[in-house]
Amino acid sequence: METERMWYGDVKMKYPKQWIVFVNISHEPKNRAIGNVYLVTPVRAKAHETAISLGNSMGSLMVIQGFNDTPQIGGLTVCSQ
């Protein structure tokens, strides 16, 4: 599977409100993490299952959520009707 190598912050902005499996993570100067995007999915459980099944085979990895611009107040999501 071909993956895309990106900065951590750019990944979060490119895939808003998606769950991303981020693999082969290395730290560049100024503590910026760079890695490969392995999977992008709207389903959190699928992202975590994929990460567990990969184990250490793809180096260090993490599951992150893309940028979410939904307003929140005190931990509650604000919904307008």
Q: pLDDT tens for residues 30-47?
A: 778 889 999 999 999 999
Please tell me the distance from the alpha carbon of residue 52 to that of residue 46, in angstroms, as a whole number.
Answer: 10
Query: Model pTM?
Result: 0.74
| 50 has a pLDDT exceeding 80 | yes
| 70 has a pLDDT exceeding 60 | yes
Total number of domains in the chain: 1
Domain span holding position 59: 4-77
Cα 7 to chain centroid distance, Å, stands at: 11
- pLDDT of 18 reads 92
Please tell me the distance from the alpha carbon of residue 71 to that of residue 52, in angstroms, as a whole number.
Answer: 31
